Structure 1
Amino acid sequence: MFWFGFILLVAVQLGEASNDANCGKASVGLNARIHGGQYATQGMFPWQASLKSLKHPAHLSYCGGTLYNNQWVITAAHCVEEAYGGTDPNMWQVRVGLASVAHWEHGRQDYNVTRVIMHPHYHRFEVDGQPLAHMDVALLKLDRPVTLDAFVNNICLPDSDASVGTDCIVSGWGVTSMHVENSGPDDESDTLKWTYAPILDPGYCSQPHVWGSLMLSSIMVCAGYEHGRDDACEGDSGGPFICPSPDGSRWELQGIVSWGDIPCGEQHKPTVYMRVTTYKGWIQQTIQSN
């Protein structure tokens, strides 16, 4: 069974949709390699956003997200399909500056949405009855600019792809059990979790016993562990896949959680992310024109 990650990246409109000097920097450092997943604290991932669908109120967090500009959210197009709330902006709320989706935290910021824009070439298809998607990106415009502070900051968009083998990080509020096949709201994590996910060679990910022809390296990034390990899972959809910049001074958004396999974290079934460098031009042009 396949799962979809519901993608979200919050972008900031400062006149131009480009990186600012302070993007990709967190007030809380990442200094520990983890095995088994680890809970995040406020400020560790200040670009992380939680997207809540009013069509599914039982879910504390419906999709993950990443702050880029101060008034935009990038999400997976499949995340805003009609069944989940559609492109009606009144069906969505966005929260930033938080670690817990179950309890109020000082510094959390809540926003409504005024625009929902799907990538024009997004299309959904099925393989053996399981849903997959191409060009799986969409944008949401917030009703007002976010306030950047110790808990809220935007991520940088990359100028180039991170190298194979780079230790990157995925974070989200998805289900906590890797083997939940019929998961629901009660299976989701109340607190933001994160784990390392190294970028894998596209040649490996395209092998028949991995993802075969489903893996399109021009628009997708494959990351995780060949032998299986902690990974993104259902409910982490749309969350950020971040990697260090070439000079190591900041974090860059290299991927958007899109889809994977259930059970999650199985051998030879790493998560697939939308490759941000492929969509960077569309993201910037759409923000500038709206």
Structure 2
Amino acid sequence: VLLMLSCSALCGLRPAPALRPHRKKRILGGRVSRRGAWPWQCSLQSGQSGHVCGCVLIGRRWALTVAHCFEGRENAELWKVVLGLTNLDHPGAHSQTRSVRSIVVHPRYNRAVVDYDISVVQLDSEVRTSRTTPTQMETLPTPDSYCYITGWGHMGNRMPFKLQEGEVRIISMAQCQSYFDMKTITPRMLCAGYEAGTVDSCMGDSGGPLVCEEDEGLRWTLFGLTSWGSVCFSKVLGPGVYSNVTHFTAWIQQQIYVHGFLSD
């Protein structure tokens, strides 16, 4: 059952606290997250390439990621999802690997403008715990609030093996649009980061979660999925753009109902 439909008191909780990054520390450069700090973070992997994108667990058999991760490769048999990872190079005893049963790319996904950039992924079997999912809401966080991004994206000329975390500031739609004259920021998008680009996501982070804390960090809410932004490490700086998960609440619920029913 999708957590937006039915959420227990455990939703959004995590067994290990994160180290709180200082303002304007880079996910690109590096603060390594603590083991268990982001239990909903998962790695979307292919047999040929290993880690391709991030993803976020939203139920025992369901995950979200972005549509552009699957361009030309929507065959579920090509993919697997790995949970409980801190180090890509050493999965460890706490990791869980699941094959992918189905992939639902949003039918209105537009590659040219990276709009409707979201996909629902069905796992072939349930994960072993339900305490690994953030809550989800239908209202956006207010501008100038601070949230967190996580992932294994590129850090210059290399990809980190250890999961990175960074704190980003939510930016209003109008302010975000001012950074991207050649692209339209749509209601399906959410912007976060800094004008100087000091904290941002990069290649390999795509599909990973943007979560905001409630109750002084005791509970976490999923608002975005890493989607696109300025080219990493270029001189064109600005915030990152995330798929606005709150916009897709009804669509996500529908896909889980339909595909869950068909697979039973």
Q: TM-score, normalised by structure 1?
A: 0.81
How far did 1:266 drift?
5.5
Question: Given the alignment, which residue of 212, 222, 233 partners 2:181?
Answer: 212
How far did 1:52 drift?
0.2
- Any conservation in 2 of the 1:63–1:236 contact (CA below 8 Å)? yes
1:141 and 1:189 map into 2 onto residues whose CA distance is: 27
Matches within 5 A, 1:1-290: 13=1, 17-34=5-22, 35-36=25-26, 37-54=30-47, 56-57=48-49, 59=50, 61-82=51-72, 86-125=73-112, 132-148=113-129, 153-177=132-156, 180=157, 187-207=158-178, 210-212=179-181, 214-245=183-214, 249-264=218-233, 268-290=237-259
How far did 1:100 drift?
0.8
- Any conservation in 2 of the 1:166–1:198 contact (CA below 8 Å)? yes
**How many equivalent residue pairs?**
254
- Any conservation in 2 of the 1:223–1:270 contact (CA below 8 Å)? yes
Decide whether aligned partners of structure 1 residues 266 and 230 sit closer, same or farther in structure 2, where only a CA change above 3 A counts: farther
How far did 1:20 drift?
2.9
How far did 1:17 drift?
4.3
Moved more, 153-162 or 138-147: 153-162
How far did 1:39 drift?
0.5
The residue matched to 1:277 in structure 2 has which SS? helix
Q: CA RMSD in A?
A: 2.1
How far did 1:235 drift?
0.8
2:232 and 2:65 map into 1 onto residues whose CA distance is: 24
Could you tell me which residue of structure 2 aligns to residue 9 of structure 1?
A: none
How far did 1:256 drift?
0.5
Query: What are the Cα deviations for residues 211-236 of structure 1, in whole angstroms up to 9, with x where unaligned?
Result: 13624241111110112202101110
AA partner of residue 7 (structure 2): N
Query: What are the Cα deviations for residues 199-219 of structure 1, in whole angstroms up to 9, with x where unaligned?
Result: 012211111xx1136242411
The residue matched to 1:205 in structure 2 has which SS? helix
The residue matched to 1:206 in structure 2 has which SS? helix
The residue matched to 2:64 in structure 1 has which SS? strand
Query: What are the Cα deviations for residues 162-198 of structure 1, in whole angstroms up to 9, with x where unaligned?
Result: 0101110000011112xx5xxxxxx211010010011
Q: TM-score, normalised by structure 2?
A: 0.89
Decide whether aligned partners of structure 1 residues 16 and 246 sit closer, same or farther in structure 2, where only a CA change above 3 A counts: closer
AA partner of residue 36 (structure 2): G
How far did 1:245 drift?
3.7
How far did 1:262 drift?
1.7
The residue matched to 1:124 in structure 2 has which SS? coil
Task: For structure 2, list consecutive stretches of 5 or more residues without a partner in the other structure.
Answer: 260-264
Decide whether aligned partners of structure 1 residues 142 and 240 sit closer, same or farther in structure 2, where only a CA change above 3 A counts: same
Moved more, 212-221 or 235-244: 212-221
